Amino acid sequence: MALLPIITVPDPRLLTASTPVEAVDDALRQTLDDMLETMYAAPGIGLAAIQVGIAKRMLVMDVAREGEERDPLFIINPEVIWVSDDDQSYEEGCLSLPEHYAEVVRPAEIKIKYLTRDGAPAELHATGLKAICLQHEMDHLDGILFVDHISALKRNMILRKLVKAKRLQEANV
């Protein structure tokens, strides 16, 4: 197990679409396990591979609350097969846009098909926070960030602050 460095805005890799996983093998499972450990350590409730610089269509999630039993999910090559008509709004954050939050509206429920950590096909009907997190992570696979769902004014304010913060951080190492 290993902790992987999480990349942050403005890194061009976060804006690129990831490519499908071709083989679910032991090396891939090792990467998924490292991603899960990295996500728990952050701490976060989800992590897409591109956030650790790996441009593959896979993600890990665990929306169990503190004190609840861990409930890790490993999702490979997800595809949306149904979305609800009704929406829900939630104040989202992202490990790749540290310390910034904004209200995002998304479909309240989705169904996806995907491959499990064992490479088996599966389906998932997600609601509540699980549906929010899953859509946030699936966006990462297409180079989309939560700020792409808010007004240009709010988005540019957040992006400018992150550019500035990274510049200061790099000047102070």
137 scored as a contact of ligand GNR (CB under 6 A): yes
CA distances from 120 to 59, 75, 158 (A): 15, 11, 39
Nearer to ligand GNR, 38 or 77 (CB): 38
By the rule CB under 6 A, 133 interacts with ligand GNR:
yes
Nearer to ligand GNR, 21 or 52 (CB): 52
Q: Provide CB contacts within 8 A for 157, sequence distance 6+.
A: none
119: left (phi over 0), alpha (psi -120 to 50) or beta: left
Nearest by Cα to 51 from 131, 143, 129, 133 = 143
- Rule CB under 6 A: say whether 134 interacts with ligand GNR: no
- Which residue matches tokens 């997800």? 78
Cβ closest to Ni ion, residue 24 vs residue 48: 48
Largest CA distance in the chain: 49
Q: Which residues are catalytic?
A: 137
Binding partner of 106, given Ni ion, ligand GNR, none, CB within 5-8 angstroms per partner class: none
DSSP H helices, the chain, are 26-41, 128-141, 152-171
Cβ 96 vs Cβ 119: under 8 Å: no
Stretch in the footprint of ligand GNR (CB under 6 A) among 9-17, 29-37, 88-96, 159-167: 88-96
Within 1-60, the residues that bind ligand GNR by CB under 6 A are: 44-48, 51
Shortest CB 148 distance to ligand GNR, Å = 13
Among 52, 132, 141, 147, binds ligand GNR (CB under 6 A): 132
The number of residues that bind ligand GNR (CB under 6 A) is: 17
Residues making contact with ligand GNR (CB under 6 A): 44-48, 51, 90, 92-96, 132-133, 136-137, 140
